[in-house]
Amino acid sequence: MTEHVRPNYILIWAYLFVLTVIEVAAAFLSHIPKHWLIIILVVLAVVKALLVAMYFMHLKFERWRLRLIFLIPLPLAAILVLATITEKIW
Amino acid sequence: MTHATASADMMHPPVPAEPGSGVYSNKLGMWIFLASDVMFFTALIGSYIILRFGMSEPWAAPGAILNVPLTGINTFLLICSSVSMVKAYAAIVDGKKYFLRPIPGKLLQDGGLKFWMLVTILCGAAFVGVQVFEYIKLVQHGLTPAGFREGSHYAELALADPVKYGAATAGLFGSTFFTMTGFHGFHVTCGVVSMLYLYFTKVLPEKYSPADYRGIETIGLYWHFVDLVWIILFTIVYLI
């Protein structure tokens, strides 16, 4: 039996909203160089995705056994993309 | 609306858990499906990255073809539906089966499972509606999975400014755009249909209780995952 404090879902919603506004503003209003902009936007998207997974999908409160089911495909996904992108090199 | 109340073991309803995973089988099944769905979307997103960044010709500039403000509102709708889904889940964990109930001394009423599920369904359906509207407008203006239709509005714009509108990569742009957002929209549609089914067969007849809310938790996981995928898609398809 585990006990935990229920997260403040409305606060998470506010974070997601603010991050989305920042993303759109960064993409269209700022003059950040393109390669930095891509990195910033991807980092923001990953943060938002993590917020959803950790708090709304309750991964933060689950056991490691269950988290692993979701985490294991992610490195495979990265390998799949990286292997194809770097195909030219080898 | 803070839920600072500690609830004992709220993530594990008192239904038989699988010995290995520690969760009941419906939830384990959904997680395994979601893991396979990660690979499905990885294939689509990975192909997109490879196709886009493998091209030497310029890709259409962000916002040149796609309507970002409209999709921004759509993203907001999906985030709202995700939070209402989790509020529906919290409501049934607390045994709130009702629609709305007045709180003494407060203007806002307390939402129960029936209210939050309805909000989720409406937001999800609105998302699909806006996406269909977006598709209709894009096709009308000439963006098809095969590129810009000859003589269309976009084709003329691309002739005038081939760099901004990605004239040389329009075919790839159209096909990757419609494939990724189409499969995502299909997921949202399936979610809305499933939630409508649950709403009429289980939520309205009050078949869920704090002792058994497996259907709500399982569809919730699916729904949040669809939201998570959209967060990634919105960034890489619309903003970059």
Closest CA to A47 of A80, A82, A22, A28: A22
Asked whether the predicted pLDDT for residue B218 surpasses 90, the reply is yes
**Window from B1-5, B72-76, B161-165 with minimum mean pLDDT:** B1-5
- C-alpha B166/C-alpha B146 separation (Å) is 13
CB pairs under 8 A between A and B: 152
CA distance A37 to chain B (A): 8
Helix axes B170-198, B25-53, angle to 10 degrees: 170
Q: Does A23 touch chain B (CB under 8 A)?
A: yes
Give yes or no for a contact between A70 and B42, defined as CB atoms under 8 angstroms apart: no
Contact (CB<8Å) A84/B50: yes
| Contacts with B, A 31-70, CB within 8 Å | 37-38, 41-42, 44-45, 48-49, 52-53, 55-58, 61-63, 65-66, 69-70
pLDDT at A80: 81
The CB-side HSE value for B20 (13 A sphere, CA atoms) comes to: 6
Minimum-distance CB partner of B32 among A12, A69, A76 = A69
Contact (CB<8Å) B35/A69: yes
- What band does A4 get if pLDDT is binned at 50, 70 and 90? low
Which residue is listed with tokens 């590129």? B147
pTM higher than 0.95 for the full model? no
pLDDT at B14: 61
CA distance B22 to chain A (A): 8
CA A63 to chain centre: 20
What is residue A60's DSSP assignment? G
pLDDT at B9: 44
Strands (E), B94-144: 100-102, 109-111, 143-144
**Domain B67-239 adopts which CATH fold?**
Four Helix Bundle (Hemerythrin (Met), subunit A) (1.20.120)
- C-alpha B198/C-alpha A43 separation (Å) is 36
> Tens digits of per-residue pLDDT, B13-24?
567 777 767 788
Residues of A in contact with B20 (CB under 8 A): 65
Asked whether the predicted pLDDT for residue B1 surpasses 60, the reply is no
> Tens digits of per-residue pLDDT, A47-66?
999 999 999 998 888 888 88
Contact (CB<8Å) A81/B80: no
- What band does B174 get if pLDDT is binned at 50, 70 and 90? very high
- C-alpha B176/C-alpha B5 separation (Å) is 46
Residues of B in contact with A63 (CB under 8 A): 21-22
Asked whether the predicted pLDDT for residue B232 surpasses 90, the reply is yes
Provide ipTM, 2 decimals: 0.89
Q: B7: part of which helix (H) or strand (E)?
A: strand B6-8
- Count of CB atoms situated within 10 Å of the CB of B81: 27
> Tens digits of per-residue pLDDT, A18-51?
999 999 999 888 788 888 999 999 999 999 999 9
- C-alpha B206/C-alpha B185 separation (Å) is 29
Asked whether the predicted pLDDT for residue B2 surpasses 70, the reply is no
Domain ranges of chain B: 67-239
Compute the average pLDDT of residues B128-151.
Answer: 95
Better pLDDT: B237 or A64: B237
Average pLDDT taken over every residue of chain B: 90
Domain ranges of chain A: 1-57, 63-90
- C-alpha A7/C-alpha B2 separation (Å) is 8
- C-alpha A78/C-alpha B26 separation (Å) is 28
Percentage of residues of chain B with pLDDT beyond 90: 72
Asked whether the predicted pLDDT for residue B115 surpasses 50, the reply is yes
Give yes or no for a contact between B171 and B146, defined as CB atoms under 8 angstroms apart: yes
Within chain A, what is the greatest distance between any pair of CA atoms? 52
- C-alpha B220/C-alpha B195 separation (Å) is 9
